Amino acid sequence: MSRRLDRSLVDWLWPLAVFGLLAVVPAIGLSIPKVFDQPVDSPGTLALLASCLLFGALALTYDLQFGYTGLLSFGHTLYIALGAYLTNIAITEWHWQFWQAVLVAMAASFALANVLGFVSMRVAGIAFAMVTLAFAQAGSVLALKDPHHWTHGEEGLGADYTKLPHAFVGIVNTKNLYWLALAFLAGVFFVVRWAVESSPGRVWQAIRENEARVEVLGLPPRAYKLQAFVLSSTLAAAGGVVYMLLFNGTTLSLTQPNFTLTLLLMVVIGGAGSRWGAVLGGILYTYLNNRLTAIGSSSAVNGLPHALKVPLSQPLFLLGAIFILMVIFLPGGLVGLARRGSPSTMRRLRAAVGGGAAAEAS
């Protein structure tokens, strides 16, 4: 019992240590050539790192559905956009106070996730994915049509900085935005960890493995899937609020269904069904998406023949090539690679080999 308690304590303490180390990054004045264009503590680098942390958290909210419950949703971006847009519209167009707008946006996201989740759960598999895609597409069209001139359509809606918390306004406060993104990531991480290790969380994972068996045991799979869907969507809406603060507004790209596909790529790259995998996948994808632009416009690429220069100058081409290679050679993602080399895995392999040798000897 004591050993189990010690192990549980360590499992909770080491993530805290990781987040604690990340919290001191703004105090590091080192320059890391090729990795960052500016020193680590510069506003530009901190803004990039904050974006990486935010998307790591958003990928983790999606992994709660896809990796742990087996729900392939194409509408996750709807809730991110709702949190960002509704908060921004409330403070900029309706002149509400910031925290009042946040509370209303979170309540609306929770309610919408319950309603749309209940409707979507009436089907499963590809049909479920298509229904969620339809809802996301409807939200994108609504933002594009710009009802009452609230969303500003393709132009996007800049936030009224006078209504935002002063600690998150201006370049001088980039450190605070970094800490905000880190705090959001830590909050999502521990909420997801608590949820997955709870009784409903274990049912979610059982549904992912064999939904029919869960139903035979007398448990209602649809109700449990709705729980995971609502929790995931509400956390995503909170991420939308952080997105609005980091980028000082909202744009139509936030509502596009392919945003969800990007989150899916992040989860697959990191490793589905693994908290750190989704986080690492989101961080890596966001970093590469920003840095590959610089590589594509570098003199080394510009000096290549035209047949090579054109594709290599496109970040999406490079990201696609990296993704294909990872799917082929790392089917379990980054976490799968780590697991294959872990001591427990090696012990199981040695035991299997030893057992096979003993059987042959007998």
Tell me, what's the pLDDT at 338?
67
Distance CA(187)–CA(195), nearest Å, equals 12
Q: What are phi and psi of 158, to 5 degrees?
A: -75, 145
Q: Are strands 249-250 and 157-158 parallel, antiparallel or unpaired?
A: antiparallel
The partner residues of 157 in beta bridges, in order of sequence, read: 250
Which residue type does 355 have?
G
Q: What percent of the chain has pLDDT over 70?
A: 88
The partner residues of 158 in beta bridges, in order of sequence, read: 249
pLDDT band for position 346 (cuts 50, 70, 90): very low
pLDDT band for position 345 (cuts 50, 70, 90): very low
- Half-sphere CA count of 68, side-chain side, radius 13 A: 30
pLDDT band for position 7 (cuts 50, 70, 90): low
The residue ranking higher by pLDDT, 330 or 140, is: 140
Which residue type does 99 have?
W
Tell me, what's the pLDDT at 341?
55
Average pLDDT over every residue of 4-26: 82
Give Cα separations from 311 to 258, 305, 319 (angstroms).
Answer: 21, 11, 11
Give Cα separations from 237 to 32, 110, 232 (angstroms).
Answer: 34, 9, 9
| Range of weakest confidence among 20-29, 30-39, 169-178 | 30-39
pLDDT band for position 144 (cuts 50, 70, 90): very high
Tell me, what's the pLDDT at 238?
98
Tell me, what's the pLDDT at 355?
44
Give Cα separations from 110 to 55, 90, 234 (angstroms).
Answer: 21, 17, 6
Residue 352 has pLDDT above 50, yes or no: no
Tell me, what's the pLDDT at 350?
45
Tell me, what's the pLDDT at 8?
66
Which residue type does 149 have?
H
Tell me, what's the pLDDT at 339?
64
What mean pLDDT value characterizes the chain? 87
| Range of weakest confidence among 139-153, 201-215, 265-279, 336-350 | 336-350
Per residue in 51-73, pLDDT (tens digit) is 999 999 999 999 999 999 999 99
CB 217 within 8 A of CB 203: no
Tell me, what's the pLDDT at 335?
83
Tell me, what's the pLDDT at 274?
85
Residue 166 has pLDDT above 70, yes or no: yes
Listing DSSP states for 16-79 in one string gives HHHHHHHHTGGG-----TTT-SS-TTSHHHHHHHHHHHHHHHHHHHHHHHHHHH----S-THHH
Q: Is 353 helix (H, G, I), strand (E, B) or coil?
A: helix
Residue 304 has pLDDT above 80, yes or no: no
Average pLDDT over every residue of 306-331: 76
Tell me, what's the pLDDT at 216?
92
Where are the alpha helices (H) located in the chain, listed in sequence order? 2-23, 43-69, 77-92, 98-120, 126-145, 174-197, 199-209, 211-216, 221-247, 258-270, 275-296, 299-302, 306-312, 315-329, 333-340, 343-361
Nearest in space to 244 (alpha carbons), one of 301, 304, 181, 325: 181
The residue ranking higher by pLDDT, 343 or 80, is: 80
Cα angle at 277 between 276 and 278, to 5 degrees?
95
Per residue in 95-137, pLDDT (tens digit) is 999 999 999 999 999 999 999 999 999 999 999 999 999 999 9
According to CATH, what is the number of the domain 18-296?
1.10.3470
Q: What are phi and psi of 250, to 5 degrees?
A: -135, 145
CB 179 within 8 A of CB 171: no
Q: Which helix (H) or strand (E) holds 157?
A: strand 157-158
pTM of the model: 0.89
Distance CA(311)–CA(309), nearest Å, equals 6
pLDDT band for position 325 (cuts 50, 70, 90): confident
Tell me, what's the pLDDT at 326?
79
pLDDT band for position 337 (cuts 50, 70, 90): confident
Residue 354 has pLDDT above 70, yes or no: no
Residue 192 has pLDDT above 80, yes or no: yes
The burial class, CB within 10 Å (0-12 / 13-18 / 19+), for 59 is: buried
Tell me, what's the pLDDT at 126?
93
Q: Locate the domains of the chain by residue range.
A: 18-296, 332-362
> Tokens at residue 174, please?
């980039």
